[in-house]
Amino acid sequence: MPRVLVVNGPNLNLLGTREPEVYGTQTLADIEAQCAIRAEALGLEVEFRQSNHEGELVDWIQAASKDFGALIINAGAFSHTSVALLDALQAVTVPVIEVHLSNIYRREAFRHHSYVSKAADGVICGLGGAGYRLALDAIAETLTGKSS
C-alpha cells in the first residue's frame, strides 16, 4: 500500500481556534481523521506530522523519498519565506502536492508568492480541509494511474 506523508508547518496545530474566519473551524486532528478515511478508500496509507520548527520540516522532507511514495505539504507561513524548504523539496524524488486552507491570492500581497510552489507538482488552495482530500485523490491517480 503506497504511503503518503502529510507535512504541516507552523501554527497549523492551532486550527479550529486561530482565525476561524480565515482557516475555518476544523482542527488539524479533524482533517487528519477525514484524510485517513479517504486514504483507506483510495488504497493509500497516510501519516500526518506537524511542526513549528523549520529544521524539523526539512528533516521530514529529506527522508520522504526513502520512506514514502508521495508528499503533501502545507508549510504555512514558511511557504512564503523558506528557501530551505524549497531546497529540500527539490531534492525529493516523490510527487509533491502543496495545500493551503485559505486562498493565498485573496490575502496579503506577501502571501501571493510561495517557494514551495516552485517544487510542487500541484497546488490546491482556498478549499479548507477538503484541499487535503483532493490532494490525496491526485496522489492516488499519480501513483496508480487510476482516477477515483
Structural domain count of the chain: 1
Q: Distance (Å, rounded) from C-alpha 120 to C-alpha 15?
A: 23
**What is the rounded average pLDDT for all residues in the chain?**
93
**Rounded to a whole number, what is the distance in angstroms from the first to the last CA of the chain?**
16
pLDDT in tens, 117-133: 999 999 999 999 999 99
Q: For residue 90, what are the domain limits? A: 3-144
103 is written with which cell numbers?
486562498
Residues 91-114, mean pLDDT to the nearest whole number: 89
Q: Distance (Å, rounded) from C-alpha 121 to C-alpha 118?
A: 8
Query: Which whole-number Å values give the CA distances from 137 to 9, 20, 34, 38, 114, in the listed order?
Result: 21, 26, 13, 8, 22
Task: Say what the pLDDT of residue 110 is.
Answer: 73
Q: Does residue 116 register a pLDDT over 90?
A: yes
pLDDT in tens, 56-94: 999 999 999 999 999 999 999 999 999 999 999 999 999
Task: Say what the pLDDT of residue 147 is.
Answer: 61
Q: Is 117 left (phi over 0), alpha (psi -120 to 50) or beta?
A: alpha
Q: Please state the length of the chain.
A: 148
Active site (catalytic) residues: 23, 100
The CATH number of the domain where 56 resides is what? 3.40.50.9100
- Strands 122-125 and 70-74, by their bridges, are unpaired
Helix (H, G, I), strand (E, B) or coil at 6: strand
Total-model pTM: 0.92
Contact 111, 80 (CB under 8 A): yes
